[in-house]
Structure 1
Amino acid sequence: MNKAFTKETDSDEDDEPGLPPLPAGGKNYITPQGYARLRAELLDLMDNERPKVVEIVHWAASNGDRSENGDYLYGKKRLREIDRRIRFLTKRLEIAEVVEPSVHAGSDQVYFGATVTYMDDQGQSRTVTIMGIDEADSNQGQVSWIAPVARALLKARVGDEVQLPTPSGLRTLEVLDVEYPSAGRD
């Protein structure tokens, strides 16, 4: 068959580039706030953005020659991007396991959703919040629960020293403080 008549397909992989995959057989832990944000994004894409782009593509297609119609070509591309994101969000929300971190309020042990202050073996103090894969933002001091530092800290208590494997060797982290959000806090 001539290559010109084959269907262009997007990658079979629906995962967004740059997001870590879920561990094999693992759960997609997420905070209630993170779940709400992803669900709001999904609903906005389906109810607002996608219908607008479909309308533009329909209008552009009715103008005739589609091969040099920028509105049509860009609209179709944007539609594929929106559909890919909708599929990704739908899959992630279907397997999401919402975990309320506030149930551990007052605990000195590190669980999902904890904000942990620790000191490394070089005397530097850092604070991180352990979040879900789809909601962690390193610019805000959040790390995914599958990140090496989070895995090292999970289940530790204030005063514990844990070992963090790094490419340059093992590092020791001392847990200084553990905090959880209060119930109902966004």
Structure 2
Amino acid sequence: MPPESREEQSHRNKEERLAALFDSCYPRLVRYAYARLGNATEAEDVASEVFVRAFESLDSYRDRGVPMEAWLFTIARNMVIDRYRRSTQVERVSEDNTAEPESRDDPARHAEQRILMRDVRKALQHLTPEQREVVTLRFFGGLSSREVAMVMSKRDGAVREMQRAAVEKLRVLLGAERLI
């Protein structure tokens, strides 16, 4: 068997990196998509589709200072935007479907999460679209401010300022004692 070419080795390395990122990124992508779409099933579909699209376009990924993780969130962000554009009326989440798609082992904890998530989703609607995007990428997606800046094509300082303003507004809307 002939040795792998540089291209083949590079592609294989990218595949391995993408596979390794699946375990750490998939739950975060689901949380991000859920925070933006408000539907657990759609959020899981988006997160799954992100990896399908990433795998299909793996050859076009160039590591030029943009981590693969940020690239995955860029794909997710674009998919969420596309879903908003395609739907003439974004389906709003019912009060019964406001829990984050996670473990439901403890009913009291589950109820508390549902109430908190409902309140957070309502408060997020009072932010500017860019502030909302920063908050969902940072806190639901778990990205650093630098990674959010890459995803949104903004400067890191601008992202940090949007985050500061958004968190301050959320503190007022939700009550400071709730965020501590």
More helix by share: 2
Q: Above 0.5 in TM-score? A: no
TM-score by length of 1: 0.26
TM-score by length of 2: 0.27
